[in-house]
Chain A
């Protein structure tokens, strides 16, 4: 592994997509995307269904590797290295760049074991109490579960399960947390709790969130990237700017049409 972890001290960007095109077989799903993600900020990726926003998100921690026909052109630069270079270990990438999914997916084990899991598979042994408490605290779940850590995680509510998944992600000490529509299965109150949690976490972590909910992007993010589909159905970046700019006075008419609900 040759990642220079100190590079982020001077680099304002946590991760950068440079002329990235993403393919499933012969189909180009995303073309020529450039995206510089600011460190310790929340960046939202929005766009109509099928525009490739989840594909872009998944390319940030090589989650697409599991799809046999998947291919990437261009570079995803993280700590000065292209994460798709042959000498990069994708497992380490996924440890440093965690992901929270659309549906909460806790393991059918205790709350405690769910959080300790990442550390255990990385060789951690024995007493993980401090790590579990710290992670659950950061995920704003500790107060609700501290007396029931041995309880099966599946007994938690959907919102609690999602925060548990965030605690599980945090426990392996990532730098970046990718969130793929993390609130789409949650009720409005649980959704707002996750958004507040994202805001707290953004002081320590870089967060990239894909969301269908434009108001969520407006409420919860610092930067917004708008992707849409080109004529050949490949996803292209239309506009990327501060969330305030995108939702008050976007540069592009396509962006305006999309965020005002008149297109897409």
Chain B
């Protein structure tokens, strides 16, 4: 078999990308659990561990650039490698969302406010499940599966709206909690954006498998996001 060096190095990059993905999944789940238990110590650990996620993303990017420079990959090989550049960036950003939630836990300190934690936990659970299966579709190059995952975003959007209504009502009834309640909205926003990043990831899997660069329709409306 020729090109064993290239095969081996691509395989290694894919493994590292999956590892980055599982680190990010864990970070999101840990961050929401820390919010639930108001665990400041764990939140600080999540913030520290984000540096490891960032470093791994750069290590993957560097490995891809070296491979492109030295091995001249084309066609399927090149599609995988350029997709990995995009996917590792998306994963790193999801890691930032986890860090953002951890920061919110610290900022909230132990202030007593009503947190719709059931909805937030469910958002994290669905988002991580989407991410997990999106990474599975990526590694098996299953375009069909990848193109179906983004539709699950609907449930997350609905939960986000519920959190939004709950927090706005809480702010109206007790204006002294506006700052803290706003932080909760940001936590929900981060979880909502996580699912959008998963959609981008799925688009790259479709690209690897088919060579087509296309947007997969999810219910997310970028215009609304920009105006909100």
Contacts and interface: CB of A to CB of B under 8 A. Distances in A.
A261 B74 CA distance: 9
A249 B74 CA distance: 9
A260 interface: yes
Interface string B117-141: 0000000000000000000000000
Given A247-B74, A250-B75, A256-B76, A262 B3 contact: yes
A149 interface: no
Contacts of A249: 75, 79, 210-211
Interface of A: 214-215, 218, 247-250, 256, 259-263
B18 interface: no
Given A259-B74, A260-B74, 12 more contacts: A247-B74, A247-B75, A248-B74, A248-B79, A249-B75, A249-B79, A249-B211, A256-B76, A260-B3, A260-B73, A261-B2, A261-B3
Output the residue of A214, A249, A250 with the most chain B CB within 10 A.
A249
Contacts of B75: 247-250, 256, 259-260
B78 interface: yes
B159 to A, nearest CB: 38
Contact of A248 (B2, B72, B211): B211
A214 B79 CA distance: 18
B72 A262 contact: no
Interface residues of B, number: 14
A73 to B, nearest CB: 33
B168 to A, nearest CB: 48
Contacts of A218: 74
B143 to A, nearest CB: 13
Interface string B206-228: 00001100000000000000000
Contacts of A263: 2
Given A215-B72, A248-B211, A249-B211, A262 B1 contact: yes
